[in-house]
Amino acid sequence: MALKIVKGSIDRMFDKNLQDLVRGIRNHKEDEAKYISTCIDEIKQELKQDNIAVKANAVCKLTYLQMLGYDVSWAAFNIVEVMSSSKFTYKRIGYLAASQCFHESTDVIMLTTNQIRKDLSSPNQYDTGVALTGLSCFVTPDLARDLANDIMTLMSHTKPYIRKKAVLIMYKVFLKYPESLRPAFPRLKEKLEDPDPGVQSAAVNVICELARRNPKNYLSLAPLFFKLMTSSTNNWVLIKIIKLFGALTPLEPRLGKKLIEPLTNLIHSTSAMSLLYECVNTVYIDVNTPPLPSLSLSLCLYLSLPPQLCVQKLRILIEDSDQNLKYLGLLAMSKILKTHPKSVQSHKDLILQCLDDKDESIRLRALDLLYGMVSKKNLMEIVKKLMLHVDKAEGTTYRDELLTKIIDICSQSNYQYITNFEWYISILVELTRLEGTRHGHLIASQMLDVAIRVKAIRGFAVAQMATLLDNAHLLTGNMQRMGICEVLYAAAWICGEFSEHLENPMQTLEAMLRPKVATLPGHIQAVYVQNAAKLFATVLKSQEGNTDSTAAQETSQLMIDRLPLFVQSANLEVQERASCILQLVKYIQKLQQKDVEVAEEVSALFAGELNPVAPKAQKKVPVPEGLDLDSWINEPPSESESEDEQPKAIFAKEEPKHSRPRREEVDEKELAKRREARKQEQANNPFYIKASPSSQKVYQEAPGVEHIPVVQIDLSVPLKVPGLPMSDQYVKLEEERRQKERAEKKKKEKKKRKEKRSGRGKKHDSGPESEEDITPAHQVDIVTEEMPEKSSKHKKKKQKKEKEEKEKKKKKKHHHHHHHSDGGGEEAVQNGTVEEEEPLPVSVFFCFLPLTKVYDIQGNLQDGSQVVVSVIFENKCDSFLKSMEFNVLDSLNSKLQRPEGSGPHDGLTVPFQLPPGVSNEARFVFTVQSIIMPQKLKGTLTFIVKDSSTHEKLDFKLHFTCTSYLITTPCYSDAFAKLLESGDLKCSSVRLEGVNMPFHHLLARICFHHHFSVVERIDSCASMYSRSIQGHHVCLLVKVSAQTVSIDAKCDEPTLLGNVLDEIKQTFSQC
Amino acid sequence: MQFMLLFSRQGKLRLQKWYVPLCDKEKKKITRELVQTVLARKPKMCSFLEWRDLKIVYKRYASLYFCCAIEDQDNELITLEIIHRYVELLDKYFGSVCELDIIFNFEKAYFILDEFLLGGEAQETSKKNVLKAIEQADLLQENIDFQMRLFAEPE
């Protein structure tokens, strides 16, 4: 209703209002850009008019265009005009436009301070309201500083409407101007008990957000919040309070105990899912997971609040038909999994159900959960379910996700959960039937890894791979890189390398030399050719044993017939290998024709076992004497690349956790023997470390009838590779195997018990088998485990990290240091700041000394371009520091003076070393061309910590303020007057508010910090003078009234003057 | 909350409110990316997604998507509640709101949002109070307009 009247009135007044604009845009769909550009022209005209109503309308339209993505920053000043209108209608539009269009770098924001202050104190609460709302969007550090007091006053406004807005916006003010927090805090605390619930909730809101950033300061409020938590019924407030306690409890474990009761009550009683979710999430997840490792707290929290309660509640969420609750339930569950895996694992059924969900994001969450839930007992079952989903899945992305998850799940922690590797190989083979997957490479690397590391499985693996090679035509449909044909790479290599396990090597050899192979990607063909040669050797060996020598010659002929195809390959690798092998075979044939036995010699070509090398093996190779790996070969690169690049090992996938599979205890003697053997081997071959023979007898399944792969020919599924076993059968087999094992164990135990009848009866577990009871059918040869831990290195790293962390706690510090110049007894004072970017165990104090040949400057301006920087290095760590090098990245304007003959990027050696706790000073000369602007130079200090002999680096910034270019120079009042009269000087002024100090202190401060001298002083007015090293005159007239200081200044270089004034302002804002 | 976006099924932006200072270029980039991501989701999917280091909560009402970005520790469900509240407020104010209402009165939609949220936090949980504040502010505006209509004099 009200809206209609408003709109009607505006309609009549203007030619084109917002509605017309919107309508126009909708009607000009084809030439929208053109239409809008004419509109913008109109708006520009409207903005030129004096009528504020027309302007406001124009600004309103601009705000709309801004949303459409047009740049309206040019109208910023007009927006300020509309904001300043006394009429609420326009003010509202102005503030809206400002809140949408202004950001921190909008320069006109500076002009708004007084207007906003006026609006904040307006008698009309809606004026105040729009100002606060607008301010919340575009508050800058300057605005926050200038208006903090006004907003603080509003926190005690009579109207709750204003109070609550003021309280909320204080949070933004704190962020921009942290100094305001201390004075405002008592009042903010008061608002927690405001009679108006809106204000109260706003205060809770703000304190909760503050506490999340720095909980320590808010511990004292805990009792108050506790009271609020038990009395409030407002879910919005309760959620915030629980969040707050989530942040506080780690610091005060006793709180946890107190919270248990109200929290449990809430969890049981609330009907609001959002609140329930918050309770569960905060209490169990945020509190129990790092970075809040307060053990005592977690203990007392979950001792009394069993995770089951929480998991049960989550189950309710997951079972809900609402997708959102399901998703959040799974999300929270996956976090609980990290701390309480047991309580989550019992809900496996539910998680598996979620795999059927129609929402892909839910399915992916469930997959994540499954990864952490597998055990030896349920791995096969879970993977079986996943395989079913692989078959059903539509869309390759989800299917690929499933595929990688299956492999992740199976291979995690060095195949910890796999008890039967035949089963795993068949799973991998089944996965090769996926069409259009992009993870062929992943499957291939798994096949290689398993075949190489699990020796017992090789026979089976080779048979499977041979079948794959035989049916290669089924896999080559997808020739894209990383496609499924990648598995042929693994298949060919496994068949070649372990060819002694092949039942019919001749057949495989033929399969590998089919003309169709030439269509495979080059790197696969290369492996084919190489391994064909290995197979050839095996075949020869078997055939030469026979009396009939023609078979062997026929094999050679086959090679000679087929290899030329590869010699013609466009791929160099294939070509090279093929022609090499072709010549070799031709030579062999020649020998064969002379009836020479060659098989032994040919197979000698490929003799010896290739062993996997652990990614860390290189570290075991001793560094030759005289080789310093830490010294730079070339100039160090400016930016260090990521140091820990994971080696892309195709053989061994390095796992983050080394969970040692159970092995029989090895006695000392055996260990020593092995160590000896290893040493010897190392001595013979420094680059390969042979795995020592496995200490455990490998469990080999008896080759019974049921283990022979069942040939399945399923015509309805053409892609199924015939002759491959189904992984499902292993599930059954595994069950049987375990049962047998259990039965045996029982028998043994019975025996034992009989023997131990008199002793304390051993607890007999007749319940379900535990994890430990399941022995793997095959043992993984885990090479990484054979390596002695590089413990010393690790420890060092850890220590360093700790140290760094400790250092980091120290916030950026600005060091000021004062120095007397040595020239003529004049007091030239420094001021420079260092921003330590990466605090390291050295602290550096900087101070700047302008070159002190003050008296020479008049005649010799050359010196006016030099600045001496005096640097004090203090060693704060416990180690001796040496070889310090100081280097600065030169700018066009400022350059570090380096000794003749050194390059522009060379560092300067600091001429001393630093024992712990000692400081010393070094001076560096800089050449500066222009001194009218302050500038920052980036630099680095490198040094060697003696104990660890590591190179360390410290980044810093040198801040050349304009003040540091000024030199205190006395000036007589008549000369000063003449100077001012000359008219050569440009004018500028600055006002300082709220300076509360005696006038002479103020003058002393300017003299001291900014190198001025007082020319004349009359009452609360003084004139001051200084000059720069390049001879600029700087004159100040300082006046004080009440707490306001006004400084009028003149200088022949306006930029320099502006910067000096800014710095003066800075000095006083810090006090 | 970091920001709120309203956009149509066609991907046209209808309203944007940023509670973190970003430059226009960055805002545009984020908007484009999010609109694409959200529109690509199937109707039966849940309302949350992880995006960069933020969580996105969105909900579709008729032809409009309401989309909020919150930080990692924030509560997704209460954010959904905020979206729903805002829709209810728009509905009450315009009387069964439709996309066109928001297009043609987009400044009103902002005013309502500003009375409901401030700096990304809910400032008033009572719908009644929000509407009251808006009505009174409108009334104030209307009075001024009424006077202006009588005198039609430039300021």
Quick one: which of A126, A128, A56, A159 has its CA closest to B135?
A126
Query: Closest Cα of chain B to A282: distance in Å?
Result: 9
- Distance of alpha carbon A932 from alpha carbon A97, whole angstroms: 37
**pLDDT on residue A727:** 66
Tokens for A333? 């569950």
Q: How many helices (H) and strands (E) does chain B have?
A: 5, 7
- Is the pLDDT at B58 greater than 90? The verdict is yes
Contact between A1023 and A1031 under an 8 Å Cβ cutoff? The reply is no
User: A67, B15: Cβ pair inside 8 Å?
Assistant: yes
Instruction: Residue A89: list chain B partners with CB under 8 A.
Output: 141, 144-145
Q: Tell me, what amino acid is at A1037?
A: L
Same domain, A484 and A542: yes
Of B73, B121, B149, nearest to A243 by CB-CB distance is: B73
- Distance of alpha carbon A621 from alpha carbon A629, whole angstroms: 13
**pLDDT on residue A297:** 37
B25 to chain A: closest CA residue: A69
For residue A929, being part of any structural domain is answered with yes
Query: A459-464 long-range CB contacts below 8 Å, 24 or more apart?
Result: A459/A501, A460/A421, A460/A422, A460/A425, A461/A425, A461/A494, A461/A498, A462/A494, A462/A495, A462/A498, A462/A499, A462/A501, A462/A502, A463/A501, A463/A502, A463/A503, A463/A709, A464/A425, A464/A426, A464/A429, A464/A724
B95 to chain A: closest CA residue: A1
The predicted-structure confidence for A39-98, as pLDDT tens digits, reads as follows 898 888 888 888 888 888 899 889 999 888 888 888 889 999 999 988 888 899 999 999
Tokens for A328? 């959040």
As a whole number, mean pLDDT of residues A363-377 equals 86
As a whole number, mean pLDDT of residues B56-76 equals 91
**pLDDT on residue A110:** 85
Assess B100–A contact: CB distance below 8 Å, yes or no. no
User: What residues pair up with A1027 in beta bridges, in sequence order?
Assistant: A967, A1033
List the CATH number of the domain containing A1047. Answer: 3.30.310.10
As a whole number, mean pLDDT of residues B127-143 equals 84
Same domain, A486 and A590: yes
Residue ranges per domain, chain B?
3-151
**pLDDT on residue A908:** 82
0.90 surpassed by complex ipTM:
yes
Same domain, A992 and A956: no
The predicted-structure confidence for A163-188, as pLDDT tens digits, reads as follows 999 999 999 999 999 999 989 999 99
- Distance of alpha carbon A108 from alpha carbon A115, whole angstroms: 12
Same domain, A982 and A950: no
**pLDDT on residue A299:** 37
Final residue of a structural domain among A584, A605, A626 = A605
**pLDDT on residue B59:** 93
A positions 739-768 inside 8 Å of B (CB): none
Q: What is the fold, at CATH topology level, of the domain defined by B3-151?
A: Beta-Lactamase (3.30.450)
**pLDDT on residue A881:** 79
Q: What is the mean pLDDT of chain A?
A: 75
- Is the pLDDT at B69 greater than 90? The verdict is yes
Quick one: which of A465, A464, A473, A475 has its CA closest to A709?
A464
As a whole number, mean pLDDT of residues A714-739 equals 56
A positions 184-223 inside 8 Å of B (CB): 198, 201-202, 205-206, 209, 212
Query: Closest Cα of chain B to A17: distance in Å?
Result: 10
A19 to chain B: closest CA residue: B104
Assess A528–B contact: CB distance below 8 Å, yes or no. no
Final residue of a structural domain among A605, A620, A636 = A605
What confidence tier does B145 reach under pLDDT thresholds 50, 70, 90?
low
Same domain, A950 and A992: no
**pLDDT on residue A795:** 41
- Distance of alpha carbon A655 from alpha carbon A415, whole angstroms: 10
List the CATH number of the domain containing A853. Answer: 2.60.40.10
* Domain extent at residue A1041: 965-1069
The predicted-structure confidence for A138-165, as pLDDT tens digits, reads as follows 888 999 999 999 999 999 999 999 999 9
Same domain, A854 and A879: yes
User: B142, A209: Cβ pair inside 8 Å?
Assistant: no
Q: Tell me, what amino acid is at A929?
A: Q
User: B73, A212: Cβ pair inside 8 Å?
Assistant: yes
Q: What is the CA radius of gyration of chain B?
A: 17
Q: Looking at per-residue confidence, does A695 or B81 come out higher?
A: B81
Final residue of a structural domain among A918, A940, A960 = A960
B positions 25-44 inside 8 Å of A (CB): 28, 42, 44
A positions 104-123 inside 8 Å of B (CB): 104-105
For residue A672, being part of any structural domain is answered with no
User: A168, B76: Cβ pair inside 8 Å?
Assistant: no
For residue A979, being part of any structural domain is answered with yes
Query: Closest Cα of chain B to A207: distance in Å?
Result: 12
Of B16, B77, B108, nearest to A3 by CB-CB distance is: B108
Interface size A-B, in CB pairs within 8 Å, comes to: 177
Same domain, A954 and A860: yes
Of B103, B122, B141, nearest to A6 by CB-CB distance is: B141
Domain count, chain A: 3
